[in-house]
Structure formats: structure tokens, C-alpha cells
Structure 1
Amino acid sequence: MASSTKAPVTITDDGHDDRHINLSLRWKLTFSFVGLFTVIFAFIGWFILDLTANTTQDRLSSELTLHVEGATKTVNGDDFSTLNASVPAVPDAKDETGFGYPTSPLYKSVAADLFTVYNVVKAGTYTWFKDPKDGKLYTSASSGYYRDPQTGYHFKVPLADVTDDTTYSLMTQGLTKTTQQPAYTDAYGSWISTYTPILDKSGKSVGGIGQDYSLDYVAQVQADVRSKVLPALIISYIVLVGLVLLISTNIVRRLKRLTVATSRIADGEYDLNVKSLMRSRLRDEMYTLAESFALMASKVAAREQSLKQEVTRLKVEIDHARRTEAVKEITESEGFADIAAKAAEMRRRMREEPTQS
């Protein structure tokens, strides 16, 4: 577990509390790298999913454009123009739009062509036209007529009633050129759509054809990526965290050895082989630091020995000075002078006695 303890509170000279929390270097390194790896792996995961979604959606848009442009070749432009001009709308109170499907063979023929396209690309295919009388857009034949149950646009429904302004504008452009609608969401789900004009034999635009592709496929691709990529990222993340913990533990273990060694040196064990504690085939900063401590220890030992010798010399000098001073004090005292005089007198008498004899 992390070595995290509160140190005693001390008061600094400026009156502030000097509070510290001790946290092991091992855990500082681990937490730092874990935080860094978390950010990096989160970004990688987001980037992969986002790239997958964008790439898949772009590919679908390209395929949808090819399908729609190919679908125009299955629709006879002249028959389509005749259908819209000659077949009236069919009221249907049961439908929310108020319109139904006509029984016209021409409608069924065009719808059958669209249903053939649907069976190939599995994308809802529908048509619309612009009424020359009021200039508004109306729905025409749809592949949904042959689906079970029937779905899609009914015949001659005002597009403004069943689409929003953005879609209406894009479908208007689709009468003159291939137009893509970016991803959008409606009551039926999320889609991408492409619109392109239907031309008659003379090359005149007589309507538009469109296809919708559900983005559920994109979501499925993202789910597949998550199920395959995320486990690999998580495993890599765990392995890297384990390696960081292992490396930080090794670094701290060597640092602790060096700390113990410096304590022994501080206690006077200057001959300690500090470098032997940093066992490593490759020299690194820790080994260099150990060499520095070893050099420092040898210099401190030499300095201490020099100081001891100096102290010994000073002691000898001090003792000699003290003895000299003591002798001087004795010789200069009155008692010593009397004794010296008496001794001199005694030596004089001893020299005179043999002479008198």
C-alpha cells in the first residue's frame, strides 16, 4: 500500500503551519504514468471508434450514391412522367397523410422496378416530382408498395407535409443533380439519404429518386470494433500499468538501498562499498549517484582523519605549553627562590668544608 502519512505539524518562522503528506516515490511514479496512460488510451479508443464510424458512413454514402444513380436506369422516365401527369391522387382517410396507393397498372409497373432495386440494395427506394402547376413537390411511386406490410410514401402526398425544411430543400436539389443528405434522425430512426434526378428520353428531369440507408449498420460496426478493440486496449493498459509498477518498485528499492548506505556513512562507516549496493549490468544515474556518495565518503573519511591528527598535534602543543607555564610559575614564585637560595648555600658550604679540613 502507499506510504502516505501525515507528518507532525511545525510552525515556520513566518507563523504558517508547515504540513506535509509523505507519499512514496513508487506511488508517485505509478499514479503519474497511470494518469498519462488513461488519457492516451481513452483518446485512442475514442479516435478508433470515431474513425470507424466516419469511415463506415463515408463508404455507405459512396455506395448509396452509386446505387441511386444506378436505380435511375431501371425507371423509364417517360412512363414516370406519364404516371404523374395522368394518374390522380387516391384519398385514404385511414392513412395519416390522407392519401393511399392507386390501382393504376402504370403505378404498379414503376413501383415494381423500384422494388427490384430495393431487393438488391436493401434500401428504401422512392420517387417524387415537381408539379408544374403549383411548383410544389409531391411523392410518386415507392418500393414500399410491394413490401409486406406496405411502407413508405403514398402517391401524390405533398412532401412539405411529411418532410422537414432541410430535407425538402435537398430533395429539390435532387431534381437537378445528385445530392447527399448527411446523417439525420427522424421518428423512424437514423439515416443517410441520397437523391438524384430521373430523366426522360430527351434528358429532361421529370422527377427525383431517393434511397435511405439506416445507420444501424454503422452502430453495429462500432459495436463490433468495441468488442474487439477495447479488450485489447484494456489488456495493454493493464500490462503497461503492471510494468510501470514493476519498474517504479525496482527504482525505489535501489534508492532505499542508497538511503540506508548514506545513513551508515553518516554514522562513520566510511569504508562502506556503496557501489556494490547498486547491482546493475548497465550503469545509470543511480550508479553514478552511488559513485558520488562513495567519493564523498572517502573525502569525508580523509578529512576526519586529518582533523584527528590536527587535534592530536594541538593536544601535544597545549600540554607542552601548559608544562612550560607551570615550570615558569614555579620558578618565579618566592618559595622556589628561597629554596634555590638555600640549595645554593648548601652547595657552597659543601665545597668549603673540604678546604678547611
Structure 2
Amino acid sequence: MSKRVTSAASGLRNELVATARTASALIDGDKHEQLTASGDDKSELYVEIKAQLKAIKAANPKIRYIYTMVKTEKANMWEFIVDAEENPELMSYLGDPFDVSSYPEMQLAFEKPTADTEITTDKWGNWLSGYAPIHDRNGEAVAIVGIDMSANAVKEIIREDQRDLLIPIGILLLLSAVIGFSAASRISRAITSMLDAAKRIAEGDYDQRIQVQTTDEFGELAASLNTMAKNISERVGSLAGTAIVDGLTDLNNHRYFQERLDVEIKRAERYNRQLALLMIDVDGFARFNAINGHVLGDSALKKIADIIKDCSRETDITARYSGEEFVVVMPEADEREAMMAAARIAMMVATQQFNTKHNISIPITVSIGITHYPKYGENSKGLIDTACEALAEAKRLGPNSIAYPKSHGSATADTTFEPRNNQPSDEVIINAVFSLAKAVDARDHYTHRHSEFVARYSAALGRALGLDDKDVTNLSIAGLLHDIGKIGVPDAVLNKLDTLTNDEWSYIDRHPVLGADIVRHLSGLREVVKTILHHHEKYDGSGYPDGMVGEEIPLKARIVSVVDSYHAMISDRPYRAGLSHNQATVELRRCRETQFDPRLVDKFIELLEKEHALNERQGTRITNKNSASA
């Protein structure tokens, strides 16, 4: 599509969405619901709402039709309620049915304002339509308003392109008639070649090119025809592209997702490969919209879509499934890869700063359901059904959750945990943990491998204290993720060389809370939430976020605190060199009973001394000058 076609179509869609949103805000949802229930097109309510629609139409001459519709109990069958049209032959009457099966964007209208991506052509002209939900006093969508505007201008631009192409084709036809096809000359062969290609182009094969190796008038004519065919091919291709792209998020739309899922399943079947499907839903988005309005809501959806795209592989198919639901098709992805992708998306959304009204901080999280071919479904319907089932299970677990279909897999007899049938494998969880930890370390040049150090020595200290294998494993995971909340700290603050301001320190102070929120509902990580949340508490009660005292602080959090602080002291920072091992242990002892649990300090130093003695006997020495902590 040429720039003017793209601009015309995109501009019309944007105008339709804005106009529909404005119109829906002017219609009283409760009154509309009363009218729907009564079914009386002679009532005062009908007259009142029709007058409102007519006023909206009069205020915008571009509107050809404006109407309201509601859903019925029958799938994809809606009913007209009020139509502003006065002509009895054109008007849709209250209760008239309408099948929306062929209008995917219209089907999303109860979720949010949207517009068609394809032009509808009938005997009255060419049309694009926009839609928006009508809400009652409780914020529930009870109807939609639809607006039709003429798309004749867009169609005319395409027709102009086609007319331009007919000119050189006409010249070729004229030349062929003059010269005749029977002449066995170079000229007749050139014209025959051009005419044959021109006919194919005229029939719609815009990728056809004329092969004429001359520099005379015939060569110029062939080059001109090839250029026109190329331009139209690009325009038509771009027009087709807009039909598969969601207008708000720039992800693929629902229709394209369905088509590609079928293709990828067939490919996976043919080559005996796996395929993963992620179903993603924005938690509490209706509340976000109610507080901040649809403009900021749209902005948030666009940002979430960008995150999903950035967290996906080039071979993945990302699409908007419905209002605030997204899907990712992952060809040849196993459980580990799918879980890591889901964890990245959940983490990045949870730590993202979204624009809100009055700069009020409202966190946004997503819940994600994961399914696989052929394990949970052997066709597109089966995969979508189990993805929805997995998403429902994630929703049941709470915001920021990731789950597999609950009804699949084998449950275990262990009833002290969530049933394993909806949980990923231990290997998947551990790999996801490593992925998250590396994402944190990668953002701070001075925390390279810091998380690995804290994980290793926290586990070693826990083992030295006699903790069981389960607690030691959880200590290792908590050590890896103790600073995961720093994902929400701006880079400028994280890597600042000068002293931090009070506002900048507030970012640092809140990272344990943010980190705990990130992993709180992530399947398999609930055991480490308290450790992450409280690893900056101090033994004398002067720490944060809750000011806990002594043994009120969870044991594993006290362990991570000691190891984390030691590694911070021996590591170089841009504003100071790291302390030696001896200097750091002196500092640990100095802070016994104030910052640290004295028993843990003594045990940790004993552990380090044994390791250093062993290393010296073996002629080796461990240094950590490339790592640091805040």
C-alpha cells in the first residue's frame, strides 16, 4: 500500500475508534439495559437514546450509520437495539439479529474500543466500522455502539493505482494490433513478451515482470510497466498486512493467529516436533481502566504488547487474542523454553512503569497459561482450550501466576503442596530462575555473578546449620533471586557513581518488596518469597521493609543477609575498592547483634575460614573482585 493509502486507512480507523469511544460515553448504560429488557421501541427510553445517536451523527457529517447492539444467548448472534437511521428501508429495528462471525474486531467491542481492519463493500458503497462498549454504573459492558463511515476514498486510491497500470497495457495492445503477431521479428517478439506479462499483471499477478533486454522505446515501456506492477504489488501487500495486524498493539490479530496456529501444528506433526502456546491475560485491567481511563489503558496495552514481542523469539508468533489477552505460539519449544519465556514476560511486565493518572503507582501484572502440542492438544481447538484452562488455573492461583492445564498430567500423593499436575517440572523452574537472575546481574556492571555467589554460600551456610535438603535448595533459589526486584530500579540509579538522593534511595529500598511481588505467584517459587522480602531486615529492627527484630526475621532471610553483605564488602564498586577477606570479617563481627544474627555471623566466618585454609593448602585462592552488591 502506498503512503497515502496507508495514511487514509489508518487515519479513518483511528477516527472511528475515537468517535465510537466518545459516543459510548454519552449513552447511559443503565437506561440502555432497561430498554433492552423491555423490548419496546415505542418507549420514551428508545426515543431518548435514538435522539442521542442522531445528535452524534449530526455533529459529525462523516458518520453514515450509528447504532447500538447487544449480545444474545446464541454464540456470535447479536441484536440491534437502537439505530439512528430514519429511512425504513435502511433502518435496523429493535431485535433485528446480526451474525458477527465474520467481524473479528466487532467481537472484541465489548472489551474495548476497536475498528475493522478490512473494508466492507455492499451496494451502498465501501465502509469501515468502529465500535466501543457501553458501560453501566458498575463498569460492566452491557452493549456496544457501532459507527459506519465511508471508505470510498481509500478504495478510490487503489482504483487510481490500477488505472495507472492500464495505460501502458493499452499501449501494448494497440502496438500488437498495428504490428501483428505473425511477424517473426525482434519487435514482434518483444511486444508478444510484454503483452503476455501485461495480461498476467492485469489479472492480478502483480509479481509478474517483463523480461525485455532492450534500451529502445520498448525497453523503456517494459521498465515503466514493471515499476508500476512493483508499486501496486507493494501497496496490495501492505493492504493485506493491515488485515493481519492489530491496530492498537501492532501485534498480529486474532484471525492471523488462528491461521498460523493451524500451519504450525501441521508442521510440528509433519516433522515430529513440539510446539508451545502461551495464553496471557492482564490482571485487573478493568480496574486500571476505571481509574485511569481508556487512553492510558490503551497505552498500557501497547507497552505490554511491546514487552511480549521483546521477550519472544524471532520465530515466535505473537498476537492479540482479545481485549487484554495475548497469545504467543512457540514453534519447536519445549517445557523449559516455554516456562522461561513466560517467566521473562511476567517479570518484565511486573517491573514496568506504566503511565497513570496523577502519577499514582498502580502495578500491572499478567497471568499466563502454558500448553503444548502434542501433550495437551493435537489440533488448534485442543491447544486453545487447554491454554484457556491453564490460564484459568493461573488466575485461580492469583495475579502474576504461571500454570499448566490442571486437568492434565499425573498428580502426586504429596498434599502439602499444590498438585504437580498444574506445575512445571523442577528443571523448568530452576532454568527460569537462572534466567531471571542473569537478567538482574546483566543490568548492573558491578554485580556480575553476585547472585550466584549469594546462592552458593547461602546454601553452604544453611547446610552447615543442619537445614534439610528442601530448605537448602530454597536458600539457593532465594540467593539467586534476592535482588530480582532491582529490575524495577532505573539504570541511572543502579549505576550512579555519586551519592544517591533520597528519592533515588527509595527505589533501592523498595526492591525487596518488588522482588517478592514478582515471584509471589510464580509456580514453584512461593517458598522463597519471605526470604526475598526480608533479606534487608536488621537484627536490631532498623532494617526494611517491616522493621522486624531478632528472630522475627525468617531464618533464611537472616542467612542471605549475612552472605549478601559479605560479598558486597569484598567487591569493587566504582566509588571504592573492595575490602579484603579479613577486613570484611572484622566488619561482620562489629555488626553482630545490630545488623546480623550473631550465631549466623560466627558460623559463616567459621565456614569461610575453613574454605580459605583448604584453598591455601591447595595453592589456590578465591577472589571476588569482579562482583558486588548493593
State the TM-score bracket (shorter-chain normalisation): 0.3 to 0.5
The structure that is helix-richer by fraction is 1
- Which structure ranks higher in relative contact order (CA pairs < 8 Å, sequence separation ≥ 6)? 1
Q: Return the TM-score normalized by structure 2.
A: 0.24
Which structure has the larger Rg over C-alpha atoms? 1
Q: TM-score, normalised by structure 1?
A: 0.41
